[in-house]
Amino acid sequence: AEEKTKGPFEPKFEDYQKVYKTIAKLLEEKDDYDDGSYGPVLVRLAWHCSGTYDKETGTGGSNGATMRFAPEGDHGANAGLKAARDFLEPVKEQYPWISYSDLWILAGVTAIQEMQGPHIPYRPGRSDRDVSFCTPDGRLPDASKEQKHLRAIFGRMGFNDQEIVALSGAHALGRCHTDRSGYDGPWTFSPTTLTNDYFKLLVEEKWQNKKWNGPKQFEDVSTKTLMMLPTDLALVKDKSFKQYVDKYARDNDAFFKDFSDVVLRLFELGVPFTQGEDARWTFKSSFDEAA
Ligand code: HEM
């Protein structure tokens, strides 16, 4: 029989689902990290790639994976994210056909789903770009500021008040590190499971100024083991933000739905997709497979 000439490899849903599974397995195996999981720092990597987007100029966003290069990788806001990029290096070696920019976002999706969050639909189409596409420093939010700053930064990406609050629910995950941001501690008692606990704690706990030798942050009065940043508390100080904090504190399903919708948009900012929105895929998580 005549052998057909093979065209270039065109990865399909199954191929990306394989990458997902590999990342999920690695998350399970490499538990010698903060609270036993690289999940939170992978979410932060995907967010910091995407959150550089500027809707006026169309620059920044997750296309390009320009954080690989010194100027952007060294921005203060990106301190510590090398741990996430290094974690994904063996995955890139195993699947050389995937771009870093698609891989980093897929890893964010995987981490959210594997930490029991909602499904985040995904489509590939990001390509890696050179150092000249690095964004200037200062596009990501500054935790020492408040509502005006949050609206300016997230407004530049195209997000409204409700979306800013939904996105902030990601702080149910992970922790602050003194050697990265200067801040210290986790926001919730279960920093490797996504829930609406961040919102519940914001409304149900009393928060006081932490007395310490570091930047201004808040601690819960009852246990003094949890933290909030000035930008986190801005969400309950501001009336317009607060209505959404209350809603998500009461209703985890509403939080999950809005979180999925807004993270999907965040992760697609600035990407010149060739396929339409109906081409998005939903990956199976380990929990779906066990069911
Ligand atoms: C961690 C600030 C929004 C996800 C952090 C840290 C800071 C910070 C200071 C600690 C970094 C460290 O010391 O390791 C902010 C500010 C935001 C914001 C000012 C403005 C609202 C977001 C958004 C997401 C996100 C929109 C995702 C959708 C995370 C995660 C961590 C984190 C998962 C934990 C990382 C880890 O455990 O290593 N954030 N963030 N943040 N942020 Fe945010």
Q: Is residue 104 among the annotated active site residues?
A: no
Which atom of ligand 1 lies nearest, measured to the CA of 47?
A: 27
For the entire predicted model, the pTM comes to 0.97
Query: Which residues does 42 contact at the CB level (< 8 Å), separation at least 6?
Result: 23, 27, 84, 87, 88, 107, 108, 110, 111
User: Within a 10 A sphere around the Cβ of 216, how many other Cβ atoms?
Assistant: 12
Is this prediction's ipTM beyond 0.95? yes
> What residues does 176 pair with on adjacent strands?
185
Active-site entry in 48, 75, 171, 207: 48
Residue 48 appears among annotated catalytic residues: yes
Which ligand 1 atom sits nearest the alpha carbon of residue 173?
33
- Assess whether the C-beta atom of 110 lies below 6 angstroms from ligand 1: no
DSSP-assigned letter for residue 51: T
Closest Cα to atom 8, ligand 1: which residue? 143
Q: How does pLDDT run along the chain (291 residues), one tens digit per residue? A: 555 677 788 999 999 999 999 999 999 999 999 999 999 999 999 999 999 999 999 999 999 999 999 999 999 999 999 999 999 999 999 999 999 999 999 999 999 999 999 999 999 999 999 999 999 999 999 999 999 999 999 999 999 999 999 999 999 999 999 999 999 999 999 999 999 999 999 999 999 999 999 999 999 999 999 999 999 999 999 999 999 999 999 999 999 999 999 999 999 999 999 999 999 999 999 999 887
Closest CA to 94 of 42, 21, 31: 21
